[in-house]
Amino acid sequence: MTQPEREQQRQNNKSSPDAVLKKILPVTSIVPPRVYAPSDDSFLMIEALPPLQLRHKRVLDMGTGSGILGLYCALRGADVTASDIDDYAIKETGRAAEMLGARLKLLYLIYSLTYRASLILSCSTRPIYLAEIARTEP
């Protein structure tokens, strides 16, 4: 294997879904009590995301809480906007993004939002819908 091939393989390993999750967990698992911490629903969503090609997709993470889903997508190459009605959650997600070197937009959301995205993550999103998106993606 040539040096450029080894470097590409190392980069791919760093951005693999498992590697991204291992990078994010220590930063998002400890949050103030009023911020929604990663829970079973967060991990169900993360299990459903790997088949999706996220690079250059626009993702809206509604109700970001700790930011685990938005950060996961951002580190896999998506253009992410993370929103929440709790300003503490937005601050925590911003802090985590800074620690991880992830780029995402933060939006303190009080009312409704009109947003055009390839994928919208929210508490009402279920993994079965993500599987359908993966099947219909070009």
Q: Tell me, what's the pLDDT at 129? A: 45
pTM, rounded to two decimals: 0.73
Q: Is residue 62 within 8 Å of 11, Cβ to Cβ?
A: no
Identity of the residue numbered 81: T
Q: Is residue 113 within 8 Å of 87, Cβ to Cβ?
A: no
Facing residues of 121 across strands?
61
94 φ/ψ angles, rounded to the nearest 5 degrees:
-60, -40
Mean pLDDT by 10-residue block, N- to C-terminus, for the chain (138 residues)? 55 69 90 88 87 88 91 94 89 95 88 57 50 51
* 118: CATH: 3.40.50.150
Alpha-carbon distance values, 96 to 37, 52, 69, 115 (Å): 13, 23, 12, 24
Phi-psi region of 119 (alpha: psi -120 to 50; beta: other; left: phi over 0): beta
Alpha-carbon distance values, 59 to 34, 46, 78 (Å): 24, 14, 7
pLDDT tens digits, residue range 40-63?
888 888 888 888 888 888 888 888
Q: Tell me, what's the pLDDT at 118? A: 61
Domain hosting residue 40, numbered range: 3-136
**Sign of the C-alpha dihedral, residues 85, 89, 93, 98?**
positive
Tally of structural domains, the chain: 1
Cα 136 vs. chain centroid, distance in angstroms? 21
